[in-house]
Amino acid sequence: MQHSDQTKRRLKTIEGQIRGIQRMLEDGVYCIDIVRQVQAAQAALGKVSQMVLEEHMHSCMVSAIRGDDPDERERVLSEIAEVYAAATKN
């Protein structure tokens, strides 16, 4: 599956954020400032996860639902349920 250019760009941005956090740690930057940057990177990763899941739902999942293979349909639906369960796990 091909992922959108927007998703790839976001990951490159996050990669830069992570490198920035590493530099902040090396430079002894104030801890709360580092925590804020980590939180920003986590939020950005959450957005990428959402984008990839949406891409999956509009391609792989739609193909499975429209397809003739009930096992494939069940597999894809189970995957979505597993991802949702993992995301909402406390």
Question: Domain range for residue 53?
Answer: 5-88
Predicted confidence (pLDDT) at residue 46 exceeds the cutoff of 80: yes
Residue 29: partners with Cβ closer than 8 Å, 6 or more residues away: none
- Total domains in the chain come to 1
Tokens found for residue 71: 């096992």
d(CA 55, CA 76): 13
Domain containing residue 77: CATH number: 1.20.58.1000
d(CA 82, CA 84): 5
Q: Per-residue pLDDT tens for 23-45?
A: 999 999 999 999 999 999 999 99
Percent of the chain with pLDDT over 70: 98
Q: Is residue 89 very low, low, confident or very high in pLDDT (cuts 50, 70, 90)?
A: confident
Q: What is the pLDDT of residue 87?
A: 83
Tokens found for residue 13: 């941005």
Cα dihedral across residues 41, 47, 51, 57: positive or negative:
positive
